[in-house]
Structures are given as structure tokens and as C-alpha cells.
Structure 1
Amino acid sequence: MPASGQTAERNSHLKAVGFLIGGISSFQIGATVAKGLFPLFGPTGMVGLRVGLAALILLAIWRPTRSGITVQSLKLLLPYGASMAVMNFCFYVALTRLPLGIVVALEFTGPLTLALAGSRRWLDLCWALFVVLGLYLLLRPETMAAGTMHSFDLFGVAAALLSGCGWIVYILTGTRIGRMFDAGHATTLGMTTAGVLLLPWLIPVIPTAIMHPWQGGMAISVAVLSSAVPYILDMLAMRRLSPRDLGILLSMEPMLGAISGLILLHEALSVARWIGVLCIVIASAGNVLTRQKAIAH
């Protein structure tokens, strides 16, 4: 390949990496903004606003029609949209009880478990052990300065793990929905379905958003930062990056979540819990790297 072609390819790759990291960072920033709005809207009201507004934004951009929607696609669309609703709902509920970095790490064990499930390679056992070690370090009780033991809220842990289960359903149904519709229309239909399912939590907070226009505007920014922008940037990245590169970069999400929580929300983690987050990252990145190497051979 000519040098100019190699330079163009390298620049395109670097742009794609920037797009993906930007998308992940945008989501984390949106989560920190959303957490600041919890006192007014509550976590359930905030998730209703975020998903509902994101659905309206995507509908305005993609404008899907009824053409191409079949009975078969509807059977997938409901669990696909429901998984998006569960992911967002449980994620925000967990944020009220746990630091952002811990919530992201616990949620990330969902797709990571899916990636490791059914494998017979001994290396995958190694990555599974990293996941177990990471969970142990994240969830174990710790001694505070006064000598008392402190452990995480079990309800928050359950909510974060349930969000991870929703992520599994999202992956399984989303890959099939993606074969029936283009990415934009599939996401719009899924987000709209999630928005309809979350209407019972959206409708009660609409008057509050109207009476507090500044906070209502911030809720719109959450919808943009946590849904519209990450989706667009992810699409730009996926056109240029290989599955291997995507997997490695997405593996950094728990660490970026912990860093975002530290910088933006002042949520400090102990050394042990930082190591726990790192174990989840290592397990995910190691799984991607060794799996791709096995496929290549």
C-alpha cells in the first residue's frame, strides 16, 4: 500500500478511536448530569425523561415508517425495547445507591458473562476468574476509619446486575433486529418502545420539568449526551474499526466510569475497588484479544 494510503488509513483509525472514546465519555458525562437531577426528578423520573426525550430526538432524525415492520420483527422489537428500558431504569436506580464506577463495572459483567458463556478454552476460565476476583473486590465489606464495617447497598448491587442482564438481552435481540432494519431505524424503534414502556414514570415528572425549565433543559442534555451523541459516535466508529478494536476499547468503559465518578462526582474508591474495576477491564480485554487470536489461527 502506498505511504499516502497507509497514512489515510491510520488517520481514519485514529478518528474512529476518538469517536468511540468520545461516545463512551459522553455517556458517562450524561450519567453524572443525570445524577445531579435525581433530587428533583428522582431516578425513575429521570430515566423516563431521558429515554422519552431520546426517543423523540431519534424519531425526528430517522423518521421510521411502518413499512418493513412484520409480525416477526415485532416479536423481537418488544424484548429489544424492553431490554433498553430495563438497562436504563436499573442503571439509574443503582446510581442512587452506588458510585458510578461500581455501577458501570457491575453492569459490564452482563455482556462479559455472555462472551465467556459456553467457551471451553482454558484461557476463558482465566478471564472468568478475573471477573470473580473483580466482583469480590468490588463487593467485599471494608473497614472504615472508625473501625466499623461498610458494605454496599444490596439493592443497588442487584439493580446494577439486573441492568447487566438487560444488556445481555439487548445484545441477543439487537443483533437479530439489526438484520431486519438499518442501525438508525432499529435503534429508533427500540428506544421508542422503551419510551412507551417507561411512560408511567415519564408522565408524572412532565409538570415538574415544565415548572423548572433550567432542570428540564438539563434533562434534554442528558438525553443528548447519554443517547443521541454516543449512538452517532458509535456508528461512526463501527464503520472504521474491526470487532477486535471495538471490543478492546469498550473494555475500558468500567475504568472510564470510575474516573468520571471520581472527577465529576467526587466518588472516591478504595485501592481494592480500583483493582476490582481493573480486573473487569482485564477480563474483557483479555477475552477479546485471545478470542481474536484463536480465530485468526
Structure 2
Amino acid sequence: MVGSGLSTQAGASVAALAFPVLGPVGVVAVRQWVAAVVLLSAGRPRLRSFTAAQWRPVLGLAVVFAVMNMALYTAIDRIGLGLAVTLEFLGPLTVVLSSSRRRIDLVCALAASAAVVVLARPRPSTDYFGIGLALLAAVCWGCYILLNRTVGERLPGLQGSAAAAAVSGLLYVPVGTVVLWLHRPTAGALLCALAAGVLSSAVPFLADLLALRRVPASFFGIFMSVNPVFAALIGMLVLDQHLGWASWSAVAVIVTANAVAVGTAGDRSREKTDGHKAHC
């Protein structure tokens, strides 16, 4: 799980090194192509056998893939890795909180909202567009979770995710080709973009698959909450992006709120299951 988180954020930092040459659009295009190759090899979807009911959530997931990565990488370029990833994590937190009426979840929601205000506090240098893009990535991540459930119910194994990655990669063929033509990639920039695709797609995919065989899904969800911390630390070490104490405090609050919400949601699900078994 540590390897997955570090690889994802290291991939994002390596991608940022290629921004001056390729721009976020060019880097995202290369990453989407790498992700498509990896997931197609792993999922091997039988595209011709998909029904219309199966294609609809797959196409929705493909659009979410495309918009989420573009929004996140552009946000990283504007406001830095740590802040962008922290704001993006509001997406899964919102999904967890939206179906709950418990007091602890209300406290988590209020704490996360206050932390966002701290992160976006008005200053002359505040990049509201970059913050908005990070929040758009958060919305996309929430939609990704909901769509992925539907895709998982309608298609076996990894076929749905693989098909969505393939469609998303195809969507980036025209725009990626134009961007790479206008901004001729250097060998170093292209290597960084390819490395970002491997580190942020292939390595986490394999690591998460192995981790989920060894730890409960609820604990895995809690541990994912440390990703904003990894992002802030790697942004500081690799990209020289330093956060102030107020921003670090806000990151800590959002990480804690996410961990508490996910952890107690898992406890609540187990309680319901145990209660149902006792009743039966």
C-alpha cells in the first residue's frame, strides 16, 4: 500500500517535470495511452459482446477518466502537487458522507469544509482557477467511484475498466497528436511522461491488486487517506513546492476526516451485517 501511494504521487511529480515541454495536455495524453495498454492487457475486454446497457456506464467512465486526469494535472501545474491531490481527495470523502446521517460524519464534513476554506483563503497569489480544477477532479473521482460500481455489476473482472481506459485513450489521440506536433517532445520530456504513465497507472494497479488480497478493503480505504501527505512531501522534495503551516494543517484535517469517515463506514457496514446475521 505504501508502494502504491508513493508510486502514484511520484508519477505525478515526474509528470510535472515534463510540463514545461509538453504541457499538462501532452503528458495526460501519454499517460492515458499507457493506462490503456496496461488495462487492456490485464482486462482483455470482449468489446463486441458488450450490450448497450453495458456500454453506457463504460463510456461515462471513459469521459470521467479523461476529464479527471486533465483537471488534476492542470491543477498540479498551477497550484502544486500537494494542494491539488488534497483537494481531489474530497471526491471519495463526499461519496462516503453523502449516504450517511451520523453525527461523526457531519463533524467530518464540517472539518473538511473548513480545511478547504483554509486552503483556498483569498490572497493576492491565490489561483482560484487551479483550485477549481482540483475540485473538478474531486467531482470526477466521486463519479468514478459511483460509475465503477455500476460497471463492476454489469461486466465481469476488469473488462469494464479496461474498455473505459481504451476509449479514454482514443479520445486523447487527436488532441494528443496535435499537442505533441506543436510542442515537439524532447527525449527527457517524453521519458518523464512515459514514466508517469507507468508509475501512476501500471505500478499502483498491480500493487493495489496484491494489497487487497492481504488486507481488508476498509483498511485499504483508510490507508489511501495518506496520499495527500505523500503528495505534499514528494512535491517538496522533487518539485521544491513548500506548503505553509496553515496549508499543512488543512491537509492533516482532510486526511483525518477521510480516514475517520471511511473507517467508521466500514465499522457501520460490519455492524449491519452482524445484526442481519443475528436476526436470521
Contact 2:54–2:155 (8 Å) recurs in 1: no
What is the aligned partner in structure 1 of residue 82 from structure 2? 101
Shift in Å, 1:251: 1.1
The answer to which of 48-57 and 175-184 deviates more is: 175-184
Residue number in structure 1 paired with 2:226: 252
Aligned letter for 1:219?
A
1:127-167 alpha-carbon deviations (Å, 9 max, x no partner)? 111101211221113xxxxxxx4442011011100011111
**For the Cα contact (< 8 Å) 2:80–2:241, is it kept in 1?**
yes
The question of whether the paired residues in 2 share the 8 Å contact of 1:52 and 1:202 is answered with no
The CA distance in 1 between the partners of 2:250 and 2:181, in whole Å, is: 42
Which residue is equivalent to 2:240?
A: 266
Residue 152 of structure 2 corresponds to 178
- Please give the alpha-carbon distance, in whole angstroms, between the structure 2 residues aligned to 1:180 and 1:68: 12
**Amino acid paired to 1:129:** L
Deviations 1:55-101 (A, max 9, x none): 12333444333354111110111111111111101001111110111
Indicate the RMSD between aligned Cα atoms, in angstroms: 1.9
Specify the alignment match of 2:263 in structure 1.
289
Q: Hey, what's the Cα distance between the residues in 2 that align with 1:114 and 1:208?
A: 39
Flag structure 1 segments of 5+ consecutive residues without an equivalent: 1-19, 142-148
1:88, 1:229 → 2: CA distance?
17
- In 2, Cα distance between equivalents of 1:228 and 1:208: 28
Partner residue of 2:66? 85
CA distance, structure 2, for counterparts of residue 267 and residue 202 of structure 1: 27
Q: Using the aligned pairs only, state the percent identity.
A: 35
Partner residue, 1:203: 177
Aligned-partner Cα distance in 2 for 1:275–1:155? 22
Give me the whole-angstrom Cα distance separating, in 1, the residues matched to 2:206 and 2:48.
24
Structure 1 runs of 4+ with >6 Å offset: none
Secondary structure in structure 2 of the residue aligned to 1:140: coil
1:291: Cα distance to partner? 2.3
Give the counterpart letter for 1:197 in structure 2: L
Map 1:145-156 to 2 at 5 A. 149-156=123-130
Pairing 1:63–2:37 present: no
Name 1:187's counterpart in structure 2. Answer: 161
How big is each residue's C-alpha offset from its partner over 1:102-134, in whole Å with a ceiling of 9 and x where there is no partner?
A: 000111111111110132111111111110121
Q: Deviations over 1:35-71 (max 9, x none)?
A: 0101111111111111023212333444333354111
Please give the alpha-carbon distance, in whole angstroms, between the structure 2 residues aligned to 1:61 and 1:286. Answer: 33
Aligned CA distance change for structure 1 residues 62 and 243 (closer, same or farther; 3 Å): closer
Residue 6 of structure 2 corresponds to residue 21 of structure 1: no
1:192–1:150: structure 2 CA closer, same or farther, 3 Å change rule?
same
C-alpha deviation, 1:240, in angstroms? 2.1
2:232 is equivalent to residue 243 of structure 1: no
Counterpart of 2:197 (choices 223, 237, 240) is 223
**Conserved 8 A contact 2:11-2:195:** yes
- Separation in 2 of the partners of 1:223 and 1:162? 21
Q: Give me the whole-angstrom Cα distance separating, in 2, the residues matched to 1:26 and 1:208.
A: 30
Instruction: Give 2:99's aligned residue.
Output: 118
Q: Distance in 1 between matches of 2:256 and 2:147?
A: 26
Distance 2:162 2:205 in 1: 10
Q: Which runs of 5+ in 2 are unaligned?
A: 272-280
Q: Quick check: 160-169 or 232-241, which moved more?
A: 232-241
TM-score normalised by the chain length of structure 2: 0.90
User: 1:27-38, aligned counterparts within 5 Å?
Assistant: 27-38=8-19
